């Protein structure tokens, strides 16, 4: 089904109030179908009777566009004079409306650029790191020591889980436990220096670092 763009406004003016659309000289039309194929707004149809182009949806035409007339090989398409549009622009104070639209567009563009810049900056810094470690946590009070090391830094440990084979096995047989947690920034700042501090605490307490992986 062909689209109907006649209900759209042109800078606040009803499209039906603007008599801008193509006119076809049937005697000059050679039925090349170039206008029919090229117009993305579906203004034209091709007549099955005489194989000539016809203006089927005139108000679909974009105000000011005359591409079809430019490319017509037989100069069969014409448009109203441009002065007609300029007269409408003056009467409806279109330029005032356009300036406001331009201001909004520039503001939106600036916002999108700023957001893109922030996203690029964030992609270049590390704000979340997942750790996997193994060792003797409880008897060394590992979590308390980590807390003391980072309590004044803008970060936290989240998703903490500790797996111990058994309580007696941990204390009597010195079986190591397994733990995983995530170091996260609380201020969208790079936490690489804090990560190094945390690794130092692990090393001092003979905790084996299995992996540390940046989280996207």
Its sign, for the CA torsion 65, 68, 73, 74, is: negative
Q: Are 134 and 208 in contact (CB under 8 A)?
A: yes
Dump pLDDT digits (tens) for 136-178.
Answer: 887 788 899 999 999 999 999 999 999 988 878 777 777 899 9
Instruction: Identify the bridge partners of residue 54 per DSSP, sorted by sequence position.
Output: 45
pLDDT (0 to 100) of residue 216: 67
Q: Are residues 208 and 163 in the same domain?
A: yes
Digits of tens for pLDDT over the chain (216 positions)? 778 898 889 998 999 999 999 999 999 999 999 999 999 999 999 988 878 999 999 999 999 999 999 999 999 999 999 999 999 989 989 888 888 888 988 988 888 888 888 778 767 788 999 999 999 887 788 899 999 999 999 999 999 999 988 878 777 777 899 999 999 999 888 999 999 999 999 999 999 999 999 986
CATH code of 74's domain: 3.30.70.20
In a domain, 103, yes or no: no
Q: Are residues 90 and 135 in the same domain?
A: no
In a domain, 204, yes or no: yes
For the chain, what is the domain count? Answer: 2
Predicted TM-score of the model (pTM): 0.52
In a domain, 106, yes or no: no
Domain membership of residue 81 as a residue range: 9-94
Q: Are 162 and 178 in contact (CB under 8 A)?
A: yes
Q: Are residues 81 and 148 in the same domain?
A: no
* Token couple for 24: 């076809």
């Amino acid at each position: 089904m062909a689209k109907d763009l006649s209900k759209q406004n042109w800078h606040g003016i009803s499209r039906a109030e603007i008599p801008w659309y193509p006119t076809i000289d049937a005697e000059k039309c050679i039925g090349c179908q170039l206008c029919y194929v090229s117009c993305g707004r579906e203004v034209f149809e091709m007549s099955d009777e005489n194989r000539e182009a016809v203006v089927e949806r005139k108000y679909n035409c974009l105000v000011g566009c005359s591409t079809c007339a430019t490319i017509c090989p037989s100069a069969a398409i014409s448009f109203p004079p441009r002065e007609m549009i300029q007269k409408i622009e003056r009467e409806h104070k279109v330029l005032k409306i356009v300036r406001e639209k331009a201001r909004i567009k520039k503001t939106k563009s600036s916002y999108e650029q700023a957001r893109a810049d922030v996203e690029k900056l964030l992609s270049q810094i590390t704000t979340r790191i997942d750790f996997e470690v193994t060792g003797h946590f409880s008897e060394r009070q590992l979590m308390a020591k980590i807390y003391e090391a980072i309590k004044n830094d803008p970060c936290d440990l989240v998703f903490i889980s500790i797996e111990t084979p058994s309580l007696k096995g941990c204390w009597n047989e010195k079986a190591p436990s397994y733990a995983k947690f995530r170091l996260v920034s609380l201020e969208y700042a790079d936490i690489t220096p804090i990560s190094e501090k945390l690794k130092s605490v692990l090393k001092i307490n003979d905790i084996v670092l299995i992996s540390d992986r940046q989280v996207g």
